[in-house]
Amino acid sequence: MSRRSLLVSVAALAASAGPLSAVARAAARTPKVLVIGLDGTLLNRIKDADAPNLDALMAAGLTAPSSIYASPFAPTLSGPGWSTIITGVWPDKHNVKDNNFTGQKFAQYPDFLTRIETAKPSLSTYAVSSWAPLTDTVFSSKVDTRVSTPSAEYDTGTTSRAVARLRDADPDAVFVQLDNVDHAGHSYGAAGQQYLDAIHGVDTQVGQLVAAVKGRASYPNEDWLIMITADHGHTDAGGHGGSSRPERQTFMIATGAGTAPGSVRHDIKMPDVAASALAHLGIAIDPAWGLDGRPLQQPVADDFDTLRPRLGTRVDETGIDAGILGFTHTPPAGWSVDNSAMGTGGVTEWRGWSFTTDEFWTAAQADQQRESNVRARNVFAVADGDEWNDKSVTGTFDSTLVSPAHPVTGGTTATLTYTTYYRQEAPQKGEVLVSYDGAAPVAVRTYTADVPSRTETVALQVPAGAKTARVRFRYTGGNNWYWVIDGVRIEQA
């Protein structure tokens, strides 16, 4: 029996048994993925443009604005951007730092279509792009079909090829890259009507791709996850590669499983496209792959993210737009901040541990590598002695972030994990301390040298009889650098 006949039989049998739950209906349908990349497209300009198809997708699913890195982590160029989207890891892993793909590590961190082919060779994969390096270099030869559209055909040819594949074949995972918005940005800038016109044009092409999906005879028996994203943004004057906020902008628009109509999320980042595609197709993500992305269908609860509705506008900072909601000193439920040894004065926003966002924190001072804080998501905690000292202070920066008491089992090993990013300048120091059942805290990790953005894992030997563990993050220093903490968890097997 063919897969399609088996699917119809399963669906018919389930229907005869009575009404199906939403989960059961989804399970009875064939999962498929369409990823559409809109090179150099700004989300805020989509909202300004005549873009009815993209507007309809946002209304039907989720919209997730996010930001990327800047140099020295990687410049805001297409090579690093598309490599991050397609592989599901940040540039410090795939190692693409330019548009020549010099030093790339795609053998270690392959594209998501190659991972699909490796895990489920029977699935049909297809990639077509207007920018040839994607299908020539980033996607591997394991992908069933890779097409680089001739320059004379450009996005029109890319779209017609993708529409034909969606309409006439039976692909399981499709990637399409359209380039003309980026071309308009370079030629005319992102502030002008030509850029909006280019978005309108690509919106028409997105509509043709979505119509090809929905027009399939087998569509009622298929479960499509459609994701639309961009590799970087553009300046108003045109161009990208620098560290300005418009250049660092990207987004995901998604419809399908795990997306709520009209929803907005701030916990999704660029590498999640690849991870979400794999998860939707039922491919388990092996921790050994080292993916930075996580499936949008599997959101991870984080205490700091609950603070987003409480974020306020600037107080002393002058370089941050007055309308940006981006910081609070009020910790989430169960957390506390000990400022009993903290100096006085300084910039209000950064006096002691603060809770903030990338948009707010990086605007405090550009090009001091705050843009390299790629693995923190949504709202995170930061101790920033450098920014605090931008106004007159007395004393030193000495602040401790204290977690809730986590339940543990005495006499066993627990695992403390957290995302961190630490930039060092003496006499600054960062200490992670753990106390059990209110006993004196014991240092389990100390930072006195630069630590790139990463997830830390610390094995905790829980004393016999202990029932709770509380974590403290203490930052001490003067006019030095900063420390970021996010995603703190204590788990036991």
Write the pLDDT tens digit of every residue in 156-199.
Answer: 999 999 999 999 999 999 999 999 999 999 999 999 999 999 99
* Confidence band of 27 (pLDDT split at 50, 70, 90): low
Enter the DSSP assignment of 200: H
Cα-Cα-Cα-Cα dihedral of 450, 86, 3, 13, to 10°? 60
Boundary-marking domain end, from 260, 289, 318: 289
Give domain status of residue 85, yes or no: yes
Q: What is the pLDDT of residues 233-257, one digit of tens each?
A: 999 999 999 999 999 999 999 999 7
Query: 308 and 455, same structural domain?
Result: yes
If asked whether residues 341 and 477 sit together in one domain, one would say yes
CATH number of the domain enclosing 213:
3.40.720.10
381-414 tens-digit pLDDT = 999 999 999 999 999 999 999 999 999 999 999 9
Whether 168 and 254 share a structural domain: yes
Residues 270 and 387 reside in one and the same domain: no
Q: Are residues 266 and 373 in the same domain?
A: no
Average pLDDT, the chain: 94
Q: Is the pLDDT of residue 14 over 50?
A: no
Q: How far apart are CA 376 and CA 452, in angstroms?
A: 12
Is pLDDT above 70 for 26? no
One domain, residues 177 and 227: yes
Query: Does 18 map to a domain?
Result: no
Does residue 9 have a pLDDT over 50? no
pTM equals 0.93
The reported pLDDT for the residue numbered 257 is 78
Query: Is residue 47 one of the residues assigned to a domain?
Result: yes
Domain boundary residue, one of 228, 254, 289: 289
What is the predicted pLDDT for the residue at 493? 74
Q: Are residues 452 and 388 in the same domain?
A: yes
Most distant CA atoms of the chain, gap in Å: 78
| Residue 308 lies in domain | 303-491
Same-domain status, 188 and 323 = no
Quickly state the pLDDT bin for 7 (edges 50, 70, 90). very low
Mean per-residue pLDDT, 419-436:
98
Q: What distance in Å separates the CA atoms of residue 376 and residue 357, rounded to the nearest whole number? A: 9
Give the model confidence (pLDDT) of 206-223 as tens digits: 999 999 999 999 999 999
Do 250 and 377 fall into the same domain?
no
Could you tell me if residue 294 is inside a domain? Answer: no
Q: What angle do CA 173, 178, 183 make, to 5 degrees?
A: 160
What's the angle, vertex CA 95, arms to CA 67 and CA 274, rounded to 5?
55
Work out how many domains the chain is built from and give that number. 2
- Distance from C-alpha of 147 to C-alpha of 232, rounded to nearest angstrom: 23
